[in-house]
Structure 1
Amino acid sequence: MTPAAQVSAAIEILADLSERRRPVADALKDWGASHRFAGSKDRAAISSLVFDALRKKASAAWVMGGDSVRAVMLGALREARGLGVDAIAALCAGERHAPAPLSDAERARLETATLDGAPDHVKGDYPEWLAERFAAAFGGRAAAEGAALAARAPVDLRANLLKGSREQALAKLAHLNPLPTPLSPIGLRIEAGQGRGPALAAETAYVKGFVEPQDEASQLASLLCAAAPGEQVLDLCAGGGGKALALAGQMHNRGQLYAYDADGRRLMPIHERLERAGARNIQVRQPKGKADVLADLEGRCDLVLTDAPCTGTGTWRRHPDAKWRLAPGALELRLKEQAALLEQAVRFVKPGGRLAYVTCSLLRDENEDQVAGFLASHPEVRALSGAATAEEAGLPDLGRFASPHGAGVRLSPASSGTDGFYVCVMRRG
């Protein structure tokens, strides 16, 4: 396929997303299935164009003076790709499978339109209904934080301490030119560029469990929990097991880690990952109907990790379609789920033990405000400051990311170069 035909295909997929409001992965898969002639490189290029348009949807529409899928694609070619009007016009020749030629109005917008005077939610490419919440979280930095969330994310890996050091992992993947992550002492970073990231499934270091994909912020969230060898730890929302595996590495396979998730289907990938990682101190607790499969852990745990379901606003670099599908009703539902999980989690924390509340959200509603509401009804629990949390984890430098809105640590693409995460460690008195 020619580059022009790839742009046409991307516009077609954006139209499908606009009509059906579904995950971009589903739309890309369906397009590929119905266009078998497109090779893997073509599909990767089209996917990249679609993701760029979704990242820059609001600013691209502002530049073009309209929000049609064609306008968004043309605006994204300028805003995300940095193409000039002549380069964009060359892609829109109207011949064969190319998009129709630029109109005089489109050419004029591409040549002269700017984001001067645009509101923060347009400059930052996030939904208008979240404007007040972004302002509450970031103040005058809201647009910059949103813009950072609209950028491409690197590929971050975590060195599995059960198999070897970060230095060994760097050596095993030297052909991919990895670099140590700036903040996590166990992370590796591979810049993805414009194309796909590395095919990890074909890398021996991954297959043999020396590394696991995990964003640096997620690594830091696990490290801030300060799990120690010999402790009793419960991961209450374990999902596929990413943080449980990280905690097992910190514990050096000593002590006991219980991995649970209310949705047993989400736990399925954990079994294969445990074997690959060599994690032997993780006991998977599968839900069994109405049975309380965690009853024996009540009041016994040194650490309970609640990686709560949330809006995922902090992961928009990796899932740009999610920000446009997010609705206010979803936030309300997540707030109720988070409050219920905290009430469930505290019963397992022993006196003097720790409760770690983690989200991949940047909204105060789901983070500091949620913790404040929980503490108000649990006087026996106190929250550690961000600085104290970092100090206890042996990562004092992370204290500079202490939340300005309450307890805990707040990470974001603009401030820390990571996905957006919130970590609050609380101690039961």
Structure 2
Amino acid sequence: MARKIRAKTNLPISSLDPRKAAVDVLTEFDGTRAPIDDIIDQRINRQAMESRLDRAFFNMLVYGVLRHRLRIDWIIARFSTTPVNRIKSKVLNTLRIGLFQIFFMDRVPVSAAVNTSVDIAKTHNAPWIVRYVNGLLRNIVRRSDEVEFPDIRNDPVSAISVTKSFPRWMIKRWLVRFGQEETIRLCDAINTVPPTTVRINTLTTGRVQLMEQLTDQVKSVYTCRHASTGVHFEGPSMPIDQLNAFKTGLFQVQDEAAQLVGFLVDAKPGETIVDACCGLGGKTGHLAMQMNNNGRILAIDNKHSRLKQLMDEMGRLGVTCVVTEKADLCNPLSPKTIKLADRVLLDAPCSGLGVMRRNPDAKWVSEKQNMGKFQHRQMAFLDQLSGILRPGGSLVYTVCSFEPEENEQVINGFLKKHPEFVMVNPSQRSPFDSTKMIDSDGFLRTFPHIHGTDGFFAAELQKRIR
């Protein structure tokens, strides 16, 4: 149904106006294809917006446009005399945030969505472009009932790709693997804004105690379905790093599926653990808590900056059993610093298609041909790490992707090359309901539309005792 536009009101645009800031960030993303979180950290976090509500609105616009970009562009293409691929990025993103508000944010008046978009256009465009933005948005509002999308009966790939906003190549492969109904459910789950999920710091608190502390600072807080250490919350009254429970180290932000991977490692007190590709230390912290802060965790990453942030995070949590090593797993590891480990965790670089509900920018930077490149690197990393595991030790491989090239194909290829390793089915000792997530081959698989988590894959391999 068409929506009426009220009379225009002049709304000033400041450098940190959430709408204008959203246009700037989305435009930089189009030009650089850098991770959207990095762009936001560089452009916005250093100049805090005036209010929490402005920041929340900004986030809603940026991530909302990324979630629904293809559908929005389809609508623009139906009414624009200029092809979408020829519209300047800043103009296109001005249209996108306006249409996102019109079609996906009922609480924003259509007049505000249109008028503020026109005001943004005035700040960086010639008068004729301003008229183009104004006319196009108003025409779409008046004639929105006329928009037709591809017919799913005749062309299911185009229909799902456009209406759910996913690249065609993703939809094609998911239709083959999952069928039409499940593909639609998967797309809908990925496009749903997830709650904030955290893992309790078992060194200092319990789940009930953490939830009690959060009650006064969030709108809702509830336990995770699968991970005994997990808590969901929504509507925090302040940035997460300003919550009292965060400042005192009572939790780490971590999706429930990632927590299950930590349980799969099953680290024990006194052991030597290698956390390869440790990143910022989400799984590192979990392993330290399993070990009751007793033992040695060697956290490996190829960037000093990440390792510094990891150690700062361990300090916040009160973890003292972690040491770090800068190393590139594409090259042989130094035997002087890397000793034989009881357990190794490889959280390998991957396409990230399993975490698109939290990182929707991955939709528009991932490419089918990259799957082979990721697989090559994943197998190379496994090759390097296989030599630092003691006989009888376990190696857990995980990726935040549910694509076969990065999942069982990597494991099967590794086992063919390394007969000294065997698959382990951890279903008998897992602290969660393994019947829902661990298949008959022993692979851990989670999906947004089935488990309400990010999409993860994990496998446990054991080195034979000769």
TM bracket (short chain): 0.7 to 0.9
Matched ranges for 1:5-404 at <5 A: 7=19, 10-11=22-23, 13-25=25-37, 28=40, 41-65=53-77, 67=84, 68-69=92-93, 72-73=96-97, 75-77=99-101, 80-81=104-105, 87-88=109-110, 91-93=113-115, 97=119, 100-101=134-135, 102-104=137-139, 107-110=142-145, 113=148, 116-117=151-152, 118-140=158-180, 141-175=182-216, 176=218, 177-192=220-235, 198-287=238-327, 292-294=333-335, 300-328=340-368, 330-384=370-424, 388-395=425-432, 397-403=433-439
| Superimposed CA distance per residue, residues 299-346 of structure 1 (whole angstroms, 9 cap, x where no aligned partner) | x32211000011111121222123212234543332221111111121
Structure 2 counterpart SS, 1:162: coil
Structure 2: stretches of 5+ with no match in the other structure: 1-9, 79-83, 85-91, 121-132, 153-157
Alpha carbons of structure 1 residues 254 and 96: separation in structure 2 relative to 1, 3 Å = closer
Partner amino acid, structure 1, of 2:258: S
TM-score (norm 2): 0.78
Contact 2:197 2:253 (8 Å CA) reproduced: yes
After TM superposition, the structure 1 stretch with the greater mean CA deviation from structure 2, 63-72 or 32-41, is 32-41
| Superimposed CA distance per residue, residues 278-304 of structure 1 (whole angstroms, 9 cap, x where no aligned partner) | 222223234499894455655x32211
Partner amino acid, structure 1, of 2:463: R
| Superimposed CA distance per residue, residues 21-43 of structure 1 (whole angstroms, 9 cap, x where no aligned partner) | 44434655677599999766434
Alpha carbons of structure 1 residues 128 and 288: separation in structure 2 relative to 1, 3 Å = closer
Partner amino acid, structure 2, of 1:47: N
Alpha carbons of structure 1 residues 115 and 417: separation in structure 2 relative to 1, 3 Å = farther
Structure 1: stretches of 5+ with no match in the other structure: none
Partner amino acid, structure 1, of 2:224: T
**Separation (CA, whole Å) in 1 of partners of 2:145 and 2:168:** 23
* Ranges of 4+ aligned residues in structure 1 off by more than 6 Å: 33-38, 288-291
| Superimposed CA distance per residue, residues 127-173 of structure 1 (whole angstroms, 9 cap, x where no aligned partner) | 22333433455343223212211221211111011112112211222
Contact 1:124 1:144 (8 Å CA) reproduced: no
**Separation (CA, whole Å) in 1 of partners of 2:308 and 2:450:** 34
Contact 2:224 2:231 (8 Å CA) reproduced: yes
Partner amino acid, structure 1, of 2:310: I
After TM superposition, the structure 1 stretch with the greater mean CA deviation from structure 2, 409-418 or 103-112, is 103-112
Provide the residue aligned with 1:413 in structure 2: 448
After TM superposition, the structure 1 stretch with the greater mean CA deviation from structure 2, 199-208 or 30-39, is 30-39
Alpha carbons of structure 1 residues 370 and 79: separation in structure 2 relative to 1, 3 Å = farther
Identity of aligned residues (%): 27
Which structure has the larger Rg over C-alpha atoms? 2
Structure 1 counterpart SS, 2:435: helix
Provide the residue aligned with 2:125 in structure 1: none
Contact 1:180 1:188 (8 Å CA) reproduced: yes
Count matched residues: 418
Structure 1 counterpart SS, 2:319: coil
Partner amino acid, structure 1, of 2:212: A
After TM superposition, the structure 1 stretch with the greater mean CA deviation from structure 2, 157-166 or 90-99, is 90-99
Structure 1 counterpart SS, 2:198: strand
Say what the alpha-carbon RMSD is for the aligned residues.
Answer: 3.4
Contact 1:353 1:428 (8 Å CA) reproduced: yes
Deviation at 1:52, TM superposition (A): 0.3
Partner amino acid, structure 1, of 2:66: L
